[in-house]
Amino acid sequence: MLNLVERPRRNRKNAWTRAMARETHLGPEHFIYPLFIHEGQGRQPIKSMPGCSRLCMSSLIDEAGAALADGIGSIVLFPALGDDKKTPHGEESYNPDGLVQTALRKLKSAWPDLTLITDVALDPFSSDGHDGIVSAEGDILNDETVDVLVKQAVSQAEAGADIISPSDMMDGRIGAIRQGLDQAGFTHVSILAYTAKYASAFYGPFRDALDSAPRFGDKKTYQMDPANVREALREVELDVSEGADMVMVKPAGPFLDVIKAVRESTVLPVAAYQVSGEYAMLKAAAQNGWLDERKAVLESLLGIRRAGADVILTYYARQAAAWLREG
Ligand code: PBG
């Protein structure tokens, strides 16, 4: 018999005791549900993201309503456009009758309680597949891009966006968008900044979904180096000083230490994005029978919460909400 005063296992002895000792909670209120939309008809399945589809307007309204019924209060929209709508300067991004703007108006009238989040960046609208405008030399032009992003954000606010979410990683865009929104009378529209967005290999399936892969080069001159964490804190400082309401780390799973560091460096709510590649990994292993999908997914989401995320953008939002409901 060991002479132990401390036996940590006592706090694990049964489900009720474990519940009392539990430090982190996961619920549908912690999820933001990303949805892909397209101009065509019906649901168009995305090969590299089994279970996810590009949605037409009516399937979007249905899916958003189902999410709301599942207890998920917010969605974020990503448009898949035909090449005919893509230009070097991404003018379609601020077309008042564009796909995103139209979807926002329909969603607002169908589900007034749903919080609508929009992505701000040029890649779905850019014939170069970059988040910004490309110069003749192949550089991504910062300040010229920010001008377009402000127009995009204001047009999304006009169409009913509640939260604007810039994912482009240009310098100074949070301040410029805040000012643009305020001047247009949208002081109540929030900004969820993609503050620490890394140049990650895990966005592959998303770029398939939108056909938005860069036509040349990569995104390393604007998205962050995966080797860095101090740099994330610099971005937090800037985004907070420019008027961000919430900050985001992306991807989530491979960057849990960044989530923790960001959590400790700001009082603002912290979001983390479990991106398409994280989803695809879990799905692929589950489909092969190599992982228990339910357990692995809930553990991955709990880990992101434990690291310090208040909210998680995840393609598993509805499925996870259903699993949590089952208990
Ligand atoms: C584009 C954008 C990307 C994602 C969200 N917004 C892709 C990229 O930066 O290339 C990725 C989301 C995901 O992989 O799930 N601005």
Domain contains 7: no
Identify the pLDDT of residue 17: 98
Question: What are 78-98's pLDDT values in tens digits?
Answer: 999 999 999 999 999 999 999
Q: Is the CB of 121 under 6 A from ligand 1?
A: yes
* Structure-derived torsion over alpha carbons of residues 225, 229, 235, 241, reported in degrees to the nearest 10: 180
Identify the pLDDT of residue 79: 97
Instruction: Name the pTM for this structure.
Output: 0.97
Domain contains 4: no
Residue 103, pLDDT above cutoff 90: yes
Q: Is the CB of 278 under 6 A from ligand 1?
A: no
Tokens of 259: 């989530």
SS3 of residue 267 by DSSP? coil
Question: What are 1-53's pLDDT values in tens digits?
Answer: 999 999 999 999 999 999 999 999 999 999 999 999 999 999 999 999 999 99
Residue 211, pLDDT above cutoff 90: no
* For the CA of 204, the nearest atom of ligand 1: 14
Q: Whose CA is nearest to atom 11 of ligand 1?
A: 203
Angle, CA of 197, 221 and 274, to the nearest 5°: 20
What total number of domains does the chain contain?
1
Say which CATH number the domain at 276 has.
3.20.20.70
Domain contains 294: yes
**For all residues of the chain together, what is the average pLDDT?**
97
**Segments forming the whole domain that contains residue 209:** 25-326
Q: Which of 85, 86, 219, 250 is catalytic?
A: 250
Identify the pLDDT of residue 327: 80
- Helix (H) / strand (E) containing 60: helix 57-69
Return all residues near 133 (Cβ < 8 A) that are at least 6 apart: 88, 89, 90, 122, 126, 140, 141, 144, 145, 148
Domain contains 19: no
Question: What are 233-287's pLDDT values in tens digits?
Answer: 999 999 999 999 999 999 999 999 999 999 999 999 999 999 999 999 999 999 9
Contact status, residue 302 vs residue 316, Cβ threshold 8 Å = no
